[in-house]
Amino acid sequence: MIHRQECALVAAHAVQFPPTFSPAKINLFLAITGRRADGFHELLSVAVPVAFGDMLAVEAIGGGRGERGQEAGDQFTLACDDSAVPLDGTNLVLRATAAFAAATGLAERVHFRLTKRIPIGAGLGGGSSNAVAALRALNGLVGGPLDVQRLAELAGSVGSDCPLFLHDGPVLMRGRGERVWPVPAGAVTQLRGRRCLIFKPPFGISTAWAYAKMAAEAPRHYLPAAEAEARVAGWTAGETSTEEFLFNNMEGVAFAKYLALPMLLEVLRDEFGLAARMSGSGSACFALLPDDVPNVRVAAIAARIRELWGAGAFVTETKIL
């Protein structure tokens, strides 16, 4: 525990902090292997951060309430350029900030400004990434009292997939997502810098709904843990290409209800030869792009997506970090 007075003294001299990048993630491999006694699901996943994401800035410490923000208690405020983002205590930025204050004794007022680009309800980890960006920014502002392990513990208490964003590259996730390891270096070379297209229909998918549906229809959607581990081991050993490795068994429940998803992925495979999958619980999907694909080809793919999903479809090209 860091004493409240110590944090206040450091914070008094740190009224601004450079904006923190908050990346989106995609799940190249996501195997839900079963349900645990505590109600959570056991999983094995390879998740990668991408160069597309949000920006989170600390506007003030020890100052006023800031601009268009709403209070979370008396201490922390948040403003966002997306009116769909909640600004109360349900927002993971404010939940992470409250956890940080409880762990360190931070007593100063904190105001965040979130520039939102990651779509909501997409399975791209936007809220979790924002929470970790807040933890990192706060830890820097008050002189770094928490080491990486303690930050990971706080992140895991906020959300199952938060800890992955403390890593600056591809990771393996186990447990409910809170147990995280870097992907072996040999496999990282297959990933870093790979171009990918991320696209989302105008609707989102509730993560809670998707997991509940899997549990209700178990065990037909689950992948045995031994098989999941074998697939990951084969890929990390270089026995399987990344395109062949792509997998997500949450697609089963999502595709049965949202037929627009499998329809489009089939079109992308048949017409453009793309390896495409859903990320997380959806509704965002992604496709790995060949390194030599020209921009005009990418534009044609994006146009096809919007033709099938409507003008409200979100499409962006990015790279794996």
Mean of the pLDDT values across residues 231-260?
A: 96
Place of tokens 């390879």: 46
- Cα(281)–Cα(126) distance, rounded to whole angstroms? 13
Cα gap 76→93, rounded to integer Å: 10
Mean pLDDT of 287-311: 95
Q: What value does the mean pLDDT take over residues 279-301?
A: 95
Instruction: Reply yes or no on whether the pLDDT at 3 is more than 70.
Output: no
Q: What is the pLDDT of residue 121?
A: 87
- Least confident window among 200-209, 213-222, 285-294: 213-222
Active-site residue, selected from the candidate residues 25, 116, 200, 213: 25
Could you tell me the residue ranges of all domains in the chain?
4-182, 188-319
| Residue 9 predicted with pLDDT over 60 | no
Q: Can you give the pLDDT at residue 16?
A: 63
Q: Which of 54, 74, 116, 161 is catalytic?
A: 161
State pTM to two decimals: 0.89
Instruction: Note the pLDDT of residue 157.
Output: 94
Is 4-182 CATH 3.30.230.10? yes
| Cα–Cα distance measured from residue 265 to residue 196, given in angstroms and rounded to the nearest whole number | 14
Find which of 19-33, 60-74, 141-155, 204-218 is predicted with most confidence, using mean pLDDT.
19-33
At 61 the pLDDT is: 66
* pLDDT at residue 64, rounded to an integer: 42
Query: Whole-number mean pLDDT of the chain?
Result: 90
pLDDT of residue 304: 98
* Amino acid, res. 16: Q
Question: Which pLDDT score is estimated for 74?
Answer: 67
Query: Which among 97, 90, 66 has a CA at the least distance from the CA of 79?
Result: 66
Residue 59 has a pLDDT of 77
Q: Which of the four pLDDT bands, split at 50, 70 and 90, describes residue 62?
A: low
Indicate whether 204 pLDDT > 90: yes
* 88 in catalytic set: no
- Percent of the chain clearing pLDDT 70 (strictly above): 90
Q: Which amino acid is at 247?
A: F
Q: Does residue 173 surpass a pLDDT of 80?
A: yes
> pLDDT digits over 113-136, tens only?
999 999 998 999 999 999 999 999
Provide the Cα torsion 232, 237, 238, 240; round to 10°. -30
Q: Is 25 a catalytic residue?
A: yes
Mean pLDDT of 232-247: 95
> Is 188-319 CATH 3.30.70.890?
yes
Backbone φ and ψ for 277, nearest 5 degrees, come out as -145, 165
Under the banding of pLDDT at 50, 70 and 90, the label for residue 65 is very low
For residue 251, name the pLDDT band (cuts at 50, 70, 90). very high
Which residues are CB-contacts of 311 (< 8 A; sequence separation ≥ 6)? none
Number of Cβ atoms within 10 Å of the Cβ of 93: 28
- DSSP-assigned states of every residue in 154-202: HHHHH-TTSGGGGSSS-EEEETTTTEEEEPPHHHHHHHTT-EEEEEE-S
Query: What is the average per-residue pLDDT within 12-25?
Result: 77
Return the pLDDT at 283. 97
